[in-house]
Structure 1
């Protein structure tokens, strides 16, 4: 039984994970932020966010939220507060979550959770903000939030906020986590991180000539658990790192081939399967809500 039942006023909203199919750093801005190029691939698997509007204006987290994250620092709570402040909305909300996306894995869990709060609360509170406005608010919370707000696979530049929708072929992914929390800030400061890669074009990615991840060699040298995971995954395909986290993935054309690879992995490897999505299931949930159906996570 759900901890957040619909009978008690809760609605459930999906917060899908993502993969970075390619990631490189092409420079650094005057403010110190790195300029990236990457491809975001949304997945049909992720967290579930639960929301229950309240009329007293209070924003409260129900349950523990993400492990070790204080309520004041929780991106779910911060997203709701930003939206409330910008809209001058008098309503509040109770927020709950069922976490599936591992923290620090590079699968975008925190950013996706925040985006789901922005998009779903915009609907529940009846604010009428468009996706561009919501993405601008989301950028205050993290560079990956806008892609989850827009809900489309995308080529991204800048700090990750300049998005160009991109069509990607159907694919299944074997995802794996070594159980290591990669500290993004520390990786960006690593002296052996390549920060001046030659800019690529979308055509370079589509042709397969741009598929690397700038953080992969750095993290494999720093974390024995990540290196060991790469070695295990190399037995069933070509492993790649996602984002600046420790999570890895192997791409397959069909579910059957992905399932066979999962079965062939050594015992003890923390791995699971997910399908690539053409668009975010969050968009489907919002559309279902507008037609009167109940969204589901």
Structure 2
């Protein structure tokens, strides 16, 4: 029996860094939601007790460094499974882009193995297991709109954003979250107003949402990768109302109410940036 799982990308509507903790992690406060750009994960059962990973992207490792591999390893250990699995990943989410592609693949593996091997774990149990793999994995288990705190693993369900189109623009660079956080000085950051963003979504107020989205890491990433700042400026000049960088970058996100405008912005960015997408939000509660 082959199982298929979709692994949706995530975007940030806010990202704030509150300081560094004693354990070396930074305390963060983020609003995240999922979009309909997704990887496709196939799980093939194996009689031999082993884990095999194959991704169709040269920048994704096909060994124990892959978060999907780590997810399968953790799941087998946790639930004492002595069977094997081959994981095939069709990558549609850009790599090292601030869109949570690797974390979502890992979450898809946890959900899929839970079904394949009839373990019966709850989503909360899978999220707890995923938290040891990567800080975005618990969010990706649920793929709804959430406020994430701690180092990203503590989640609270919040109202979804108003329905809109999302323009994504990723320059031809990869950004390491670890390196970005090495350059963070919390006292120098510009902090978004997280509560104001939550209220805008509760009131289904698109204008207020766009006025308040923000990412405290932008100044750090912009200083190291000026191309990202140029993409944001170009998107703003094109008339995009809510623009911010997702995660630690380099993808820039623009929220747009109407498809015709999203398409115009998309066309304007195509000559400037290799990877540009128009997507929609998944959380339609």
The yes-or-no answer on 1:267 pairing with 2:271 is: yes
SS in 2 for 1:102: coil
Look up the match of 2:195. Answer: 202
RMSD of equivalent CA atoms: 2.3
**Separation of aligned partners in 1, 2:278 and 2:56:** 26
**Separation of aligned partners in 1, 2:140 and 2:68:** 14
1:61-83 deviation per Cα after TM superposition (whole angstroms, max 9, x unaligned): 23556625251211111100110
2:192 and 2:214 in contact (8 A); partners too = no
**Separation of aligned partners in 2, 1:124 and 1:279:** 28
SS in 2 for 1:88: coil
1:51-105 deviation per Cα after TM superposition (whole angstroms, max 9, x unaligned): 1112222211235566252512111111001100110012211110111111111
Return closer, same or farther for 1:201/1:272 CA change in 2, 3 Å cut-off.
closer
Match of 2:23 among 27, 31, 34: 31
1:26 and 1:195 in contact (8 A); partners too = no
**Separation of aligned partners in 1, 2:237 and 2:168:** 14
**Separation of aligned partners in 2, 1:223 and 1:258:** 25
User: Which deviates the most, 112-121 or 53-62?
Assistant: 53-62
1:250-286 deviation per Cα after TM superposition (whole angstroms, max 9, x unaligned): 1012333312321333524231111011169xxxxxx
The yes-or-no answer on 1:212 pairing with 2:214 is: yes
Look up the match of 1:173. Answer: 166
Shift of 1:235: 2.5
Look up the match of 1:114. Answer: 106
Shift of 1:193: 5.1
1:91-147 deviation per Cα after TM superposition (whole angstroms, max 9, x unaligned): 211110111111111000000000000011101111111111111110111100001
1:152 and 1:279 in contact (8 A); partners too = no
Look up the match of 2:225. Answer: 223
Return closer, same or farther for 1:124/1:194 CA change in 2, 3 Å cut-off.
farther
User: Which deviates the most, 230-239 or 15-24?
Assistant: 230-239
Shift of 1:200: 5.1
Gaps of 5+ in 2: 201-208
Match of 2:96 among 97, 100, 104: 104
Return closer, same or farther for 1:240/1:76 CA change in 2, 3 Å cut-off.
same
1:153 and 1:279 in contact (8 A); partners too = no
**Matched positions, count:** 272
Gaps of 5+ in 1: 1-8, 281-297
Match of 1:244 among 238, 245, 248: 248
SS in 2 for 1:265: helix
Look up the match of 1:160. Answer: 152
